[in-house]
């Protein structure tokens, strides 16, 4: 333990010289999964001493029992065992029913140079799950109830300047659920140390908005405040602005008082007749709802993996993301800014209480300069209040606050209260419909046509599908219909047990011709932990699995939503079948089995899926499509068993900052080099060099394997041909080698450069 303390102090010194506005504060924390009796009796951090009566922070500081060195973001829930009674949290033994695993402490020692005296210094926590209490040098800063929106504390007068042994301590209590999905546990987003000049900008005071766009010129308005002079504002112009849009997400940078702010120039209008207009042009919302967790890392998703996830969605033609049902990480919004994804930015806590409004304030102040954010969502499916007077009053109060902080965007809400124009629906600018099947009564309901009646009755209220789809598919699944977590990977009406669900084909077709309906967000982009039935631990509503691997519907949406040539035949040809499905945007497709044509099919103008009856015969399936005169081809063989692995890193260059990360896809191949779609054997991993494995996953909803290192070994079974490794860079540059064994004698390798 002495060694560890010395190391922590040395790292504090190392960081000493590097402070500027926003220094990352993720590295070199310590974590202990236990509680201390709290005492607020004495202020401040005395010398660490073994005074049995002193139960306060000195005790936490001096304790040597059970602390481990961790870097943030960190999710301790993923390291806990699975437990059948832990249904909420992906069956991890945390939260309600597991008090012994639900309270953890973090601490970090750090240096503050004497030269920083006179600055204004803040600690910013981007997200802690949840009920967190914070201290600096034993002085209580306050708390953050929310597991999703962060909190900033000014610590200027709480620091020891010119000393290396400043101490931040955080108590985290994950004992209460916020979601009905996997919330994780711990400091699962970044922490920043802000050191600002005494006359610098007040954090979050900067608001950059478009004042006028006319005659090839944008006039921008900037509001800001400094510590010394208070609020101020000015205008500036951009000639021939390059507008931000999903197709061309152009970003500008504003430099102000030594800080940089990214912004985009765009107009966004929700038109009750024409839907969503971005820069005056109709853009149908081709959206997905997503929770935040990923394979291998839980809710502690590194920025590199956030970036990967957004690119996977973009590849499918997604142009909109609903951060269901909570504020996202700031880096998620940065990625949406970069890739041109429109965001419905959601508050977790629908409430006009002081706490609810404070959470909303922090959300809007934090996110209002992101061009990607196009609407504030006040909440989701609050059955008890959404349709009544309480809901109306609270939404009204929330809207007033939102307008004060950001008058440029509309508000919305994910409502599943049908055609009612009462409560929240009366107040929100854009009516959010969770599931068109829940609109209307009787036959109208069945046909989803209640939405038409709502629009006819409220023609001036723009409307969008805040949630749709909810179909359950398992990647590569061959399971039985009705068995939720091993569903076949084919999106059929029989494959959606929820009474509100619609297949991809059903809901996207429903929107055809209804331009007043601005589009919708499919539930969900990715599979996520939780909201499932044991023995499953992952919920399979995703269009992509928990690793980001495509299910068949990925190709359906891609055919509909992108301009690329799409021709994808499924399921695999490794076992007898009587039908093959084709997701395509080709004008016509001809299918061949072992060279024999099964005939040619034309695609209907609004249909993106074909079905071909087949007589099974092992060998080669080929599809030849024509699209606008171009030939498009697809081949799929009956494969042999897996004898090799292909390791495909998402990025081969990482930054040597101890935080950069990427995913490496692990794909099973047969002797002929074909991907083996049903390979399920175990893979063993080892690594060497300038990085480490952060976690492993395979997307199997039923898997009970560990995502983290178990007994010193990294292993994971392939699930339908694939598994995935999340790799993190070390702080020293060099080469990183990931090795994978399919069996002890067959070894495969990927090399990454860490700079
Ligand atoms: C919705 C809810 C989502 C998810 C989904 C499953 O009603 O908003 O969080 O539970 O149902 O279909």
H helix or E strand, kind and range, residue 427: helix 424-427
Residue 605 pLDDT: 86
Establish whether residue 498 lines the binding site of ligand 1, counting it when its CB lies within 6 angstroms of any ligand atom. yes
* Averaged pLDDT for residues 624-639: 97
Q: Ligand 1 pocket test: which of 467, 500, 531 has the largest number of ligand atoms within 8 Å of its C-beta? A: 467
Nearest CA to ligand 1 atom 2: 381
- Distance from Cα 469 to the centre of ligand 1, integer Å: 10
How far apart CA 445 and CA 292 sit, in angstroms, is 32
Ligand 1 center from residue 503 Cα (angstroms): 15
Q: Give the pLDDT band (50/70/90) at residue 55.
A: low
Q: Longest Cα pair distance anywhere in the chain, in angstroms?
A: 85
Return the H-helix or E-strand segment holding 511: helix 504-511
CA of 500 to the centre of ligand 1 (A): 9
Ligand 1 center from residue 24 Cα (angstroms): 35
Distances (CA, A) of 66 to 49, 69, 452, 540, 630: 18, 10, 60, 36, 64
Confidence band (pLDDT; 50, 70, 90) for 494? confident
What was the pLDDT predicted at 86? Answer: 72
Classified as helix, coil or strand, 578 is coil
What is residue 46's predicted lDDT score, i.e. its pLDDT? Answer: 53
Number of the ligand 1 atom closest to the C-alpha atom of 416: 7
Best mutation site among 87, 437, 523, 539 for ligand 1 pocket (most ligand atoms within 8 Å of CB): 523
Residue 670 near residue 640 (C-beta atoms within 8 A): yes
Which is it for strands 230-239 and 217-226: parallel, antiparallel or unpaired?
Answer: antiparallel
Pocket test of ligand 1: the residue of 179, 182, 381 to mutate, having most ligand atoms within 8 Å of its CB, is 381
The answer, yes or no, to whether any atom of ligand 1 lies below 6 A from the CB of 467, is: yes
Kindly give the number of the ligand 1 atom that is closest to the alpha carbon of 325.
9
Residue 434 CB–ligand 1 contact under 6 Å? yes
3-state secondary structure of 288: strand
In ligand 1, the atom with minimum distance to the C-alpha of 381 is: 8
Distance CA 596, CA 177 (A): 57
Index of the ligand 1 atom closest to the CA of residue 414: 8
Residue with the nearest Cα to atom 11 of ligand 1? 470
Identify the band that residue 3 occupies on the pLDDT scale cut at 50, 70 and 90: very low
> What average pLDDT score do residues 405-425 get?
95
For residue 547, give every residue at least 6 positions away whose Cβ sits within 8 Å of its Cβ, in sequence order, or none: 294, 295, 663, 665, 697, 698, 699, 722, 723, 724
Dihedral of the CA atoms 613, 615, 621, 626 (nearest 10)? Answer: -30
User: Binning pLDDT at 50, 70 and 90, where does residue 7 land?
Assistant: very low
Instruction: Report how far ligand 1's centroid is from the alpha carbon of 468 (Å).
Output: 9
Q: Is the CB of 523 under 6 A from ligand 1?
A: yes
Buried/exposed 91-117: b ≥16 CB within 10 Å, e otherwise: bbbbbeebeebbbbbbbbbbbbbeebe
- Beta strand 661-669 with 644-649 is antiparallel
Instruction: Provide the edge-to-edge strand list for the sheet that holds 151-154.
Output: 23-24, 191-196, 120-125, 151-154
Q: Answer whether 416 contacts ligand 1 (Cβ < 6 A).
A: yes
How many whole angstroms from 492 Cα to the centroid of ligand 1? Answer: 19
524 touches ligand 1 (CB under 6 Å): no
Q: 6 pLDDT band (50/70/90 cuts)?
A: very low
Across the range 260-289, mean pLDDT stands at: 98
Query: What's residue 214's pLDDT?
Result: 97
Q: Is 173 in the pocket of ligand 1 (CB under 6 A)?
A: no
Question: Which pLDDT score is estimated for 9?
Answer: 31
Report residue 721 CA to chain centroid gap: 25
Ligand 1 atom 12: residue of nearest CA: 470
Q: What is the mean pLDDT of the chain?
A: 93
Q: Is the CB of 380 under 6 A from ligand 1?
A: yes
Q: Which atom of ligand 1 is the closest one to the Cα of 498?
A: 12
* Cα(590)–Cα(585) distance, integer angstroms: 13
Asked whether the predicted pLDDT for residue 441 surpasses 80, the reply is no
Q: Measured from the CA of 531, which atom of ligand 1 is nearest?
A: 10
Average of per-residue pLDDT across 275-286: 98
Q: How many residues are there in the chain?
A: 755
Ligand 1 centroid from CA 415, angstroms: 11
Q: What is the pLDDT of residue 58?
A: 85
d(CA 273, CA 275): 6
**E strand intervals along 93-157:** 103-112, 120-125, 132-136, 139-144, 151-154
Q: What is the pLDDT of residues 675-722, one digit of tens each?
A: 999 999 999 999 999 999 999 999 999 999 999 998 889 999 999 999
pLDDT number for residue 486:
82
pLDDT in tens, 725-738: 999 999 999 999 99
Pocket test for ligand 1, best of 350, 470, 525, 528 (most atoms within 8 A of CB): 470
What number is the average pLDDT over the span 88-100? 92
Min mean pLDDT across 48-52, 73-77, 420-424 is at: 48-52
- Average the pLDDT over 257-272 and give the result: 97
pLDDT tens figures, 377-403: 999 999 999 999 999 999 999 999 999
Is 540 near ligand 1, meaning CB less than 6 Å away?
Answer: no
404 three-class SS? helix
Give the list of residues 6+ apart from residue 147 with CB closer than 8 angstroms, or none.
127, 128, 129, 130, 131, 174, 178, 183, 326, 348
Give 203 Cα–ligand 1 centroid separation in angstroms. Answer: 35
Q: Quick one: pLDDT band at residue 89, thresholds 50, 70, 90?
A: confident
Average pLDDT over residues 40-52: 61
Contacts of 509 (CB under 8 A, 6+ apart): 606, 607
**343 DSSP 8-state letter:** E
What token pair was written down for 578? 């009587």
| Other C-beta atoms lying within 10 Å of the C-beta of residue 383 | 10
Q: What percent of the chain has pLDDT over 90?
A: 86
Residue 569: pLDDT above 90?
Answer: yes
Q: What mean pLDDT is predicted for residues 442-449?
A: 68
- The pLDDT, as a whole number, for residue 20 is 61
CA dist 90 and 82 (Å) reads 8
pLDDT of 235 > 90? The answer is: yes
What is the predicted pLDDT for the residue at 10? 32
The answer to whether the CB of 466 is under 6 A from ligand 1 is: no
pLDDT at 19: 57
Residue 48 has pLDDT above 60, yes or no: no
Mean local confidence (pLDDT), 525-542: 96
Nearest alpha carbon to residue 168 among 54, 25, 35: 25
**Ligand 1 centre from 277 Cα, in Å?**
27
Paired residues of 692 in beta bridges: 728
Q: Taking the CB of residue 388, how many other CB atoms lie within 10 A of it?
A: 14
Interval 34-62 mean pLDDT: 72
Q: Please check whether residue 340 is in contact with residue 249, taking contact to mean a CB–CB distance below 8 angstroms.
A: yes
Which residues, in sequence order, are CB contacts of 661 under 8 Å at separation 6+? 302, 303, 304, 305, 654, 694, 726, 727, 728, 729
Encode pLDDT of 118-129 as tens digits: 999 999 999 999
Q: Within a 10 A sphere around the Cβ of 212, how many other Cβ atoms?
A: 12
Phi, psi of 533 (to 5 degrees): -110, 125
Q: How far does residue 380's CA lie from ligand 1's centre (Å)? A: 9
What pLDDT is recorded for position 700? 96
Instruction: Show the beta-strand stretches assigned E in 457-595.
Output: 463-469, 517-523, 528-529, 538-539, 567-570, 579-584, 588-593
What average pLDDT does this structure show over 275-300? Answer: 98
Mean of pLDDT values over 334-347? 98
C-alpha radius of gyration, the chain, whole number: 27
% residues pLDDT > 70 (the chain)? 94
Is the backbone peptide bond immediately before 535 cis, with ω within 30 degrees of 0?
A: yes
Mean predicted confidence (pLDDT) in 440-461: 83
Does 50 have pLDDT greater than 60?
no
Question: What is d(CA 166, CA 651) in angstroms, rounded to the nearest whole number?
Answer: 37
Distance, CA 592 to ligand 1 centroid (Å)? 40
pLDDT of residue 5 exceeding 50, the answer is no
Token reading at 491: 């999106």
For residue 670, the CA-to-ligand 1 centroid distance in Å is 39
Distance CA(217)–CA(655), nearest Å, equals: 38
Helix, strand, coil shares, percent, the chain, to 5 = 20, 35, 45
Taking residues 211-221, report their average pLDDT.
97
Give the residue from 116, 158, 108, 153 showing the smallest Cα distance to 138: 158
Contact 520, 287 (CB under 8 A): yes
Residue 380 CB neighbour total at 10 angstroms: 23
Residue 288 CA to ligand 1 center (angstroms) comes to 13
Centre of ligand 1 to C-alpha 608, Å, is 26
Report the Cα–Cα distance between both ends of the chain, in Å, rounded: 31
Whether the CB of 506 sits within 6 Å of ligand 1: no
Q: CA 51 to CA 49: how far, in whole Å?
A: 6
Mean pLDDT value across residues 163-170? 96
Q: Band of the pLDDT at 21, cuts 50, 70, 90?
A: confident
Whether residue 547 contacts residue 723, with contact meaning beta carbons closer than 8 Å, is answered with yes
CA distance 643 to 674: 10
Q: Separation of 290 CA from ligand 1 center, angstroms?
A: 11
Tokens representing 573? Answer: 């040809």
Between the CA atoms of 28, 32, 37 and 41, what dihedral angle is there, to the nearest 10 degrees? Answer: 0
* Cα(324) to centroid(ligand 1), Å: 9
Task: Yes or no: say if 70 and 29 are a contact pair by the CB < 8 Å rule.
Answer: yes
Provide the token pair at 580: 């093959």
């Amino acid at each position: 333990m002495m060694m560890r303390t010395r190391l922590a102090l040395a790292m504090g010194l190392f960081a000493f010289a590097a402070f500027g506005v926003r220094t990352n504060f993720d590295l070199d924390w310590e974590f202990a999964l236990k509680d201390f009796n709290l005492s607020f009796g004495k202020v401040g951090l005395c010398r660490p001493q073994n005074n049995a009566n002193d139960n306060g922070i000195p005790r936490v500081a001096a304790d040597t029992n059970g602390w481990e060195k961790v870097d943030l973001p960190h999710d301790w829930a993923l390291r806990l065992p699975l437990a059948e009674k832990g249904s909420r949290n992906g069956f991890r033994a945390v939260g309600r029913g597991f008090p012994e695993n639900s309270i953890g402490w973090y601490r970090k020692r750090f240096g503050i140079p004497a030269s920083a005296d006179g600055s204004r210094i803040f600690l910013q926590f981007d997200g802690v799950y949840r009920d967190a209490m914070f201290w600096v040098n034993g002085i209580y800063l306050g708390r953050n109830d929310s597991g999703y929106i962060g909190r900033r504390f000014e610590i200027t007068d709480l620091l020891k300047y010119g000393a290396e042994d400043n101490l931040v301590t955080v108590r985290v209590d994950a004992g209460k659920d916020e979601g009905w999905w996997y919330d994780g546990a711990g400091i699962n987003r970044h922490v920043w140390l802000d050191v600002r000049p005494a006359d610098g900008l007040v954090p979050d005071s900067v608001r950059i908005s478009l004042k006028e766009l006319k005659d090839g010129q944008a006039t921008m308005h900037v509001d800001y405040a400094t510590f010394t002079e208070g609020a101020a504002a000015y205008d500036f112009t951009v000639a021939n602005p390059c507008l931000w849009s999903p197709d061309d997400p152009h970003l500008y940078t504003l430099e102000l008082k030594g800080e940089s702010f990214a912004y985009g120039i765009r107009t966004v209008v929700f038109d009750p007749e024409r839907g969503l207009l971005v820069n005056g042009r109709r853009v149908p919302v081709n959206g997905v709802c997503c929770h935040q967790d990923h394979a291998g890392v839980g809710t502690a998703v590194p920025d590199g993996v956030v970036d990967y996830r957004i690119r996977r969605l973009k590849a499918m033609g997604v142009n909109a993301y609903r951060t269901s049902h909570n504020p996202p990480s700031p880096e998620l919004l940065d990625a949406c800014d970069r890739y041109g994804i429109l965001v419905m930015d959601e508050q977790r806590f629908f409430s006009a209480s002081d706490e609810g409004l404070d959470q909303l304030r922090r959300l809007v102040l934090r996110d209002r300069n992101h061009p990607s954010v196009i609407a504030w969502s006040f909440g989701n499916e609050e059955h008890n209040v959404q349709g009544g007077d309480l809901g109306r009053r609270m939404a009204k109060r929330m809207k007033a606050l939102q307008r004060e902080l950001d008058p440029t965007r509309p508000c919305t809400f994910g409502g599943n209260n049908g055609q009612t124009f009462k409560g929240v629906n009366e107040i929100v600018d854009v009516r959010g419909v969770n599931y068109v099947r829940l609109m209307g009564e009787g036959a109208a309901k069945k046909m989803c046509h209640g939405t038409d009646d709502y629009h006819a009755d409220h023609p001036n209220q723009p409307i969008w599908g805040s949630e749709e789809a909810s179909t359950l598919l398992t990647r590569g699944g061959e399971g039985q219909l009705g068995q939720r977590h091993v569903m076949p990977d084919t999106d059929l009406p029989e494959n959606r047990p929820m009474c509100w669900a619609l297949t991809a084909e059903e809901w996207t077709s429903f929107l055809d011709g209804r331009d007043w309906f601005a589009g919708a967000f499919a539930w969900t982009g990715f599979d996520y932990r939780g909201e499932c039935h044991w023995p499953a631990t992952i919920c399979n509503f995703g269009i992509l699995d928990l690793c980001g691997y495509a299910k068949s519907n990925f190709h359906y949406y891609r055919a509909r939503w992108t301009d690329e040539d799409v021709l994808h035949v499924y399921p695999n040809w490794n076992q007898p079948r009587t039908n093959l499905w084709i997701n395509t945007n080709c004008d016509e497709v001809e299918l061949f089995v072992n060279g024999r044509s099964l005939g040619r099919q034309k695609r209907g103008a609004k249909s993106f899926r074909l079905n071909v009856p087949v007589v099974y015969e092992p060998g080669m399936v080929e599809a030849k499509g024509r699209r606008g005169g171009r030939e498009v081809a697809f081949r799929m063989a009956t494969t042999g068993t897996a004898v090799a692995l292909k390791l495909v890193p998402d990025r081969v260059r990482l930054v040597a900052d101890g935080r950069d990360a990427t995913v490496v896809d692990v794909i099973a191949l047969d002797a002929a080099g074909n991907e083996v779609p049903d390979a399920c054997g175990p893979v063993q991993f080892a690594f060497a060099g300038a990085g480490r494995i952060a976690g492993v996953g395979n997307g199997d909803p039923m898997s009970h394997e560990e995502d983290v290192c178990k007994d010193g070994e990294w292993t994971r079974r392939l699930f339908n041909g694939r598994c995935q490794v999340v790799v993190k860079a070390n702080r020293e540059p060099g080469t990183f080698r990931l090795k994978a064994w399919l069996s002890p004698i067959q070894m495969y390798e990927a090399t990454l450069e860490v700079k």
